[in-house]
Amino acid sequence: MKAHVLFSGGKDSSLSAIILKNIGYDIELITVNFGVLDSYKHACETAKILNLPHSVEFLDRELLEKSVDIILKDGFPSNGIQYLHKNVLEVLSDKYDVIADGTRRDDRVPKLSYSEVQSLEMRKKIQYITPLMGFGHKTIRNLVNRYFIISEKESEDLLKSDYPRVEQVGLTIFKTRFLIFAIQVTPFQKIKQYSAIFFCSLLKVLLLIFS
């Protein structure tokens, strides 16, 4: 059976793919991109190292814009990230029968509840697999060290294709786990008037910070 693994190029999605491969699934790695950044290139390189087939799904940029609107309205990132994750799964479940990702037991977001997983699987007639859901941080770290050789680099050398986050009062910060784009928000700026591609390009020019 073939499983399509949502793939950021990071350790968690890589480990999920390896686990599923080892128990007999045919794996294809899927990286989602909204046409704003070329962060999928890192995922492509990692997929080559793993020797697994990989493709990029370019989804509607409106999903990202809506996620940004939610984050700006709330003032914290959780609901925006959750919105993006759930809607990516909704879109991809119309195309793929088996979808997996690197969601972990200790993650707060993005994560589907049990009832949300049931609903997705029943409505879309798919299988949604989270191989790391039963593992804590220590176990995942041990498995990562067993299967991968990790090259530690300065964070500015790393770019992972992942969901954006927001941190720090007074700044609107959009970031992946390795990448932050930040811009000072003033009362004169009308953030919602920016298109996602222009806004993220502006953020990149103004400030590039890595976590």
d(CA 52, CA 140): 21
From 178, 177, 158, 173, select the one nearest 206 (Cα to Cα).
173
Whether 165 has a pLDDT exceeding 90, the answer reads: no
Residue 159 scores a pLDDT above 50: no
For residue 120, the model assigns a pLDDT of 97
Mean pLDDT value across the chain: 77
Report the CATH fold assignment for 2-147.
Rossmann fold (3.40.50)
Banded pLDDT at 132 (limits 50, 70, 90)? very high
- Residue 140, pLDDT > 50, answer yes
pTM for the whole structure:
0.72
Which position has the token pair 């970031």?
Answer: 175
Per domain, the residue ranges of the chain are 2-147, 155-209
Q: Tell me what pLDDT residue 174 has.
A: 39
Give the per-residue pLDDT at 75: 86
| 22 SS3 class | helix
